[in-house]
Structure 1
Amino acid sequence: MANPPVLSVRDLAVELRTESGTRSILSDISFDLEPRQIMGIIGASGSGKTVLSRALVNWIDPPLAIASGSVIYKSQNILELPPGQLRPLRKEIAYVGANPMGALDPTLPVGAQIVEKIRAVVPGMDKAEAQRRVIELLGAVRIPSPAQRFHEYPSQFSGGMMQRALIVDALATNPAFLVADNVTQPLDVTVAAQVMRLMRELTERFDTAVVFVSSSLPTVSEAADQVLVLADGRIVERQTPAKLIREPQHPYTVQLISEIPQIWTAAAPVVESPERSGTPLISIEDATRTYRVRKRSSFAGYNNVRAVRNVTFDVYPGENFGIVGESGCGKSSLMRLLSRLESPDTGRVVCDGQDIAKLSGAELLKFRRDFQLVLQDPFNSLPPRTSIGAIIEGPLKVHGVNSAAKRRERALAVMHEVGLSAALYDELPLGLSAGQRQRVNVARAMVLEPKVLIMDETLSSLDQTEQFKLLKLFSQLQAKHGLTYIFISHDMAMVRRVCNRIAVMYLGEVVEIADNGKLFFDPGHPYTKALLSAIPTLEKRRYRPEDCLLEGEPPSPIDLPPGCSFASRCPKAFGRCHAESPVLTVDGKEGMAACFLLESAGGRIAA
């Protein structure tokens, strides 16, 4: 006799109820989640994925409301259970959302918060046992130095590490089923690949069934047993991943598949570099940045975290320059140096011939006008109680545009340019989608007519459809205004689509710089191959994960080993790698890589 489903959803409908009326968000949702099954749910932004994921754990709040249907767990409709009866089930029902930075209390250490959660749902577990469990799971999701990270605060975690910490928070009580809502979207490709393997391991080792919600079919296809396609709040197709990819039945599914970025096929983009002659627009020269972090076990002792180490490269006018690497590799620290939010400890950053660390007064204000940032989080980067027009006009006030009429005129012009309706000028950002919010962020940066836009994971929280629209917008803005872009990202598919040249970072160092075509088809560093092998794709992979994907965790940036920092994880490391540190070496006319293997016969790394 077959085991009963872990979860049965029947005729579920959710409505948005406001003073202006009622609108359907979800309707006629029915499916069964079988034991040890991974059920993938895909759809574009606005299809209802997040509302469905929250409805499955009875976290629907006004103005949303359950209109009809049931979610049956252990013969009980959890949508009808009062809080007192639902609370004991919370240790068996886990949820991980897509907004990692806003999920934990910023005033308490990450590990302590997870321990508190475990002990609340498993009262018999003592504090020491809970701490051991959390540290073990932090290591399992590849957070470096988990025993030390346990005591750090959310502000000390990168976005990728925060997402992994929330996965630990969900897994700590060995739940019967887990709802994972876009959990891999903010993660770098190698960690996302490991999380997908972890999902499969959960189903096999702990009998945990998983509802995996994502906008990426390639990601879902790697682990899911069944896939539901959601469009306009309805299930339009249900198939195994292989059949869905091979024989999509619904036009919406066909459209989703057509929007998946191509990496290596003939349809992949050809991204050529502009002419690199004359003076670079930006030069970073042998820059380092080290942070002092107090030792928890010492009254007055400190650890030195080496976040950026001896980074050197040039960016030329009109380029789309990419900076990629795993979470915690130093990308965002490097961004802070490039934008003069911080200054390097040694070395310098030169823009238009000036060392930006020495700028002050009017010169610094001009630099701020020319170099603008567009950050990662579309939900927390906009003040919720300020109108969209006032948000966009803010930089104009700072830079001395005192006429309210001129500020409004300029704000409306840039809103039109980035695809925002003028009707939104007096509206609050509350009702905007993630894509619209990022357009507001782009408008706020563009209102000053900058030379350079630094995009720090700007598209990481958006689905493929929204990414495609914004990348088209960026191309139009570049053609019109002659912009230079620096894309800081873990999304290798996006970088493949848009960047001319790419720098690969590992543990604070640049280990490879190459033109787009060379990096993706003929990488010079084993770490780059590992990143490429982990890209979610429906294509035949050029680099196989079983040959390239990394195991273990990076060394701690507090206690770096001698020699090449990648040697402990490199499948091709030899004696010299553990004793000497390689430097960037010319790898053909289109790239440089820091690897001793380039000096071997033929100067190339074996495939």
Structure 2
Amino acid sequence: MTTNEPVLRISGLSIAFRSGGELVTAVDDVSIDVAAGETVAIVGESGSGKSTTAAAINRLLPENGVITAGSIRFEGREITELGENELVKLRGAGIGLVPQDPMSNLNPLMRVGEQIGEALEVHGYGTGDAVRARVVELLELVGIPDPEQRSRQYPHEFSGGMRQRALIAMGLACQPRLLIADEPTSALDVTVQRRILDQLDQLTGEMGTAVFLITHDLALAAERADRIVVMFRGSIVETGTSQEVLENPKHEYTKQLLAAAPSLASRREPLPIRGGDVDARPLVEVTELRKEFHLRSPKAGEPATFTAVDGVSFTIPRGKTVSIVGESGSGKSTTANLVLGLEQLTSGRIAFDGTDLTKLKRRELFAFRRRVQPVFQNPYASLDPRYTVEESIAEPLKVHRIGNAASRRKRVAELLEQVALPVAMASRLPHELSGGQRQRVAIARALALEPELVVLDEAVSALDVLVQAQILELLAGLQARLGLSYLFISHDLAVVRMISDEVHVMQRGRIVESGTPEQIFDDPQNPYTRELLAAIPGAALAS
């Protein structure tokens, strides 16, 4: 590599996908340089081509993807001409990768520590005890508590945020000169996000590591990147320093992104009051909820159970949005699963419309599931890969024997329109969709039965800001029109402020503070709440 050549130089890159015998262009004439020690953020909506560009750098495009033009040079070497053996040596050691989806990128049959250790051994970073010690060090580095014990666990024993942290540890393991980070912190709470990004900054400073950051989070890009590249429909429409792009955007699309980004200055618009009598009794009443999990192999002298939820109480009024925030492992997703009836509580009570969930018989439980629908965090795992979009959305209608084939098809078309997807997408399979598009399909499926309560577990964390704004507006509109209630689980405090009527802050299984968004965000009382608020990136976007 010559002295003046950047670590990564992408020149005139075009990428297409084979579909139905034709080549469909996904990336068109893209050129990006990333210098040693520089962080370049690629920002754009889902389907803009940003992740496809990143995949091409490591030559990890899907089988139907092909580079049709251009050059990708890493430290002076032309990536497009390397053989498979050379690519294997390069991946991990020269170019590290933190992929977007923590579920499909971790082997469910291998312990987490073994998977990180495998990367170290492949690239000659030792064996045996030396590798195990380095694995524990890496897990501790990315904020996983009790890293030695956790290294012996399987991916399904980790929360979504912890799985993402394990992938980050894997990407950093061999101290690469270039790190491709594809939405690396989308599953993480703000405190761990800050710790991870601080570590990336430290790598950049100490080792000259270049970072190619893919994100839909403009606030994060503004705070962390030296330069921002904005992509739209496969092309670069704007590039510049973070300050230039944020303070003086030139392209109309960049202006739309900035306008749609939520901030802590956001306020919820009051919803119109629905006519008719309103039942004053809460739809959901949670009282002294407790959930314990049995540990697989507790150490001598340690408890055999782990308390994930400890004495939690709250209500969800009809037609309102109640949000639970907290860092990964705080118990917020476990609480959501208990409300959904997907986990059995250890003690306490959950009443839905006045009825104790633990006392429901099988037929009553089936009826309950029609009235309560989930939207989960992971858009990759929540859709059956064998089902088309239409089949996925229509499935709950078929299960509950609603309508015939024609009426269900019409309902699917209505739902796709509601979540800003073209009706033509109904025939596609999940692997043909971006992460954000998959999440919109999952939301459409949850709305199919017109439930009374929707439990949204990080439901907009995978969405770019424009689609996120559309979905939040859609949820608010549906709530006003249908009187829906929402239990909203999130680590994105700006979104929580925008959508919530009441907020509960969870830490280590307990609610440590509750109040209206104004009380929580303007006058936080608990030190942990103040810590969460202080860790939020993107002061540049606050109004």
TM-score for both structures, normalised by structure 2: 0.93
Q: 1:521 to 1:3 in 2, by over 3 A?
A: same
Q: Aligned pair 1:97/2:72, yes or no?
A: no
SS of the aligned residue for 1:79 comes to: helix
Residue matched to 2:442: 441
Residue 55 to residue 20, structure 1, CA distance change in 2 (3 Å): same
Show the counterpart of 1:482.
483
What does residue range 36-185 of structure 1 map to in structure 2 within 5 Å? 36-90=37-91, 91-122=93-124, 125-185=126-186
Give the 3 Å change call, closer, same or farther, for CA 524–277 of structure 1 in structure 2.
Answer: farther
Matches for 1:445-456 after TM superposition, within 5 Å: 445-456=446-457
Sort the Cα spacing of 1:200 and 1:423 in 2 relative to 1 into closer, same or farther, 3 A: closer
Larger Rg: 1
Answer yes or no: is the 8 Å Cα contact 2:5–2:75 preserved in 1: no
The one-letter amino acid paired with 1:100 is: P
Change (3 A) 1:9 1:420: closer
**TM-aligned CA distance change 1:213 to 1:440, over 3 Å:** closer
CA RMSD of aligned residues (A): 2.5
The answer to which of 419-428 and 84-93 deviates more is: 419-428
Task: Tell me which residue corresponds to 1:551.
Answer: none
Q: Which of 294, 303, 319 pairs up with 1:292?
A: 294
Secondary structure in structure 2 of the residue aligned to 1:294: coil
Answer yes or no: is the 8 Å Cα contact 1:533–1:541 preserved in 2: no
What pairs with 1:67-466 in structure 2 (closer than 5 Å)? Answer: 67-90=68-91, 91-122=93-124, 125-264=126-265, 268-270=267-269, 278-295=280-297, 303-401=304-402, 403-404=404-405, 407-408=408-409, 410-412=411-413, 414-415=415-416, 417-466=418-467
Q: 1:403 to 1:23 in 2, by over 3 A?
A: closer
Distance 1:415 1:255, change over 3 A: closer
Q: Residues 405 and 67 from structure 1, CA distance in 2 versus in 1: closer, same or farther, beyond 3 angstroms?
A: closer
C-alpha distance in structure 2 between counterparts of 1:358 and 1:50, whole Å:
47
CA contact (8 A) 1:272 1:500 kept: no
Give CA deviations for 1:320-373 in whole Å, capped at 9, x if unaligned: 110110011001111111111122211111111111011112222221111111
Preserved CA contact (<8 Å) 1:261 1:268: no
- Is 1:513 matched up with 2:514? yes
2-side partners of 1:409 and 1:270: how far apart?
31
The amino acid of 2:193's aligned partner reads: A
Runs of 4+ in 1 over 3 A off after TM superposition: 1-4, 267-277, 400-430, 432-436, 538-542
Q: 1:18 to 1:2 in 2, by over 3 A?
A: same
Q: Which has the higher contact order (CA 8 A, sep 6+)?
A: 2
Give the deviation of 1:443 after TM superposition. 3.0
Partner of 1:526: 527
Asked whether the 8 Å contact 2:374–2:455 carries over to 1, the reply is yes
What is the deviation of 1:495? 0.7
The SS at the match of 2:461 is coil
Q: Which consecutive unaligned segments of at least 5 residues does structure 1 have?
A: 543-607
Q: Do the aligned partners of 1:294 and 1:301 also contact (CA within 8 Å) in 2?
A: no
AA aligned opposite 2:174: T
| Contact 1:17 1:63 (8 Å CA) reproduced | yes
What residue identity is the alignment partner of 1:288?
A: R
The 1:301–1:137 alpha-carbon spacing in structure 2 relative to 1, beyond 3 Å, is closer
Contact 2:298 2:304 in 1 (8 A): no
Q: Once the 2 structures are TM-superposed, how far is the Cα of residue 93 of structure 1 from its aligned partner?
A: 1.1
Contact 1:271 1:516 in 2 (8 A): no
The CA distance in 1 between the partners of 2:355 and 2:313, in whole Å, is: 16
Identity score, percent: 38
Question: Deviation per CA, 1:120-176, whole angstroms, max 9, x where unpaired?
Answer: 111x61221111111111111111111111011000111111111111001111111
In the aligned structure 2, how far is the partner of 1:407 from the partner of 1:236? Answer: 40
Tell me how far 1:249 sits from its aligned partner. Answer: 2.4
Distance 2:76 2:70 in 1: 14
Once residues 235 and 413 of structure 1 are traced to their aligned partners in structure 2, the CA distance between those partners, rounded to angstroms, is 33
TM-fit CA distance, 1:454 = 0.5
- Once the two structures are superposed, residues 484-506 of structure 1 have per-residue CA deviations (whole angstroms, 9 ceiling, x without a partner) of 01101111111111111011100
How many angstroms apart in 2 are the aligned matches of 1:426 and 1:56? 30
Name the CA shift for 1:19/1:451 in 2 (closer, same or farther; >3 Å). Answer: closer
Deviation at 1:65, TM superposition (A): 0.7
Contact 1:10–1:30 under 8 Å retained in 2: yes
Letter in 2 for 1:453: V
Q: Which amino acid aligns with 1:218?
A: A
- Partner SS state of residue 116, structure 2: helix
User: How high is the TM-score relative to the length of structure 1?
Assistant: 0.83
Go from structure 1 to structure 2 and tell me whether the alpha carbon gap of 1:425 and 1:458 turns closer, same or farther (over 3 Å shift).
same
Q: How many equivalent pairs are there? A: 538
